[in-house]
Amino acid sequence: MTDQFRIWRYHHENSKLLQTGFAATARYCREFIKRGKTEDIQAQTRLAALNLAALFESRLMEFIFHKDSAAFARRDEILASDTIMDTWHRLIDIGFANLEDIRLRRVPEGLRPSNKARHKAISDAIDLHISPLIELRNALAHGGWVYTLGNDRMTVSPVKMKHLSETNLWQLQVKRNLFRHLSRVVYDLLIASSFERDFDKQFQNLLSAASRLEKDGSKQWEEMLQRRWQRRPIRVKSSSNAMQISTPKVKLDLDEDGY
């Protein structure tokens, strides 16, 4: 096993367990939503946010260390970026520079119009959907689970508090779905040879997930879970044995994953 493959495998194995962790945390959180357990919902939602942000970062490392990635030869340069968001953007720039065989400094202005538009679409998606979760992850990692404090650890950060208050499990599940589509786009850009052929289809899937986030179906989804819980079969004990009273099945429009 080469050192390059070993390093990629480290990140890949991390990603696999992070996916399992997110799914498990989401299952617990859904059960608490059904029962209306507010503090448990808040705790599990924050754990899910930490988990999902870690998955985003682990996938980023997979893209960098894949032996066939356009970024692999420039991994030291990419990893020298000041922030995770800078790392994402440098990765995308290098992918487009390799795609059109131009110097990195000419990205994005030197790209063909079609790829310039694609570069902007990917960069905007990263800024809009990944950046807030990374910022929230940093706040949670510093203990800001109820009040997110600024760098001085004495004043509340209004921006981070807004992110915290708006984050819920439904949103995180849709973001996970959105990131799956974004990952396919980035994989095609850096590793596969199908970026220009498949971009429109893959990015349309991403836009569909983004549209669901904008419409925000979290309240309806949570109410659906609670209705489903209230209509569950109930066991009633008698003196001789336990008798189950069943309720009719109700057709619902949303599944428990929310997407």
Give the residue extent of every domain in the chain: 3-232
Q: What is the pLDDT of residue 250?
A: 38
Q: What is the pLDDT of residue 253?
A: 40
Cβ proximity of 97 and 107 under 8 Å: yes
Q: What is the pLDDT of residue 1?
A: 55
Q: What is the pLDDT of residue 193?
A: 85
pTM of the model: 0.87
The parts of the chain modelled with pLDDT lower than 70 are: 1-2, 235-259
Which helix or strand (DSSP H or E) is residue 236 part of?
strand 234-237
Q: Compute the distance between CA of residue 149 and CA of residue 158 in angstroms, rounded to an integer.
A: 9
CA distances from 124 to 45, 47, 90, 182, 210 (A): 25, 26, 14, 11, 12
Q: What is the pLDDT of residue 63?
A: 97
Q: What is the pLDDT of residue 251?
A: 39
CA distances from 65 to 11, 74, 102, 188, 246 (A): 9, 10, 22, 15, 54
Q: What is the pLDDT of residue 80?
A: 96
Q: What is the pLDDT of residue 256?
A: 55
Mean pLDDT score of the chain: 90
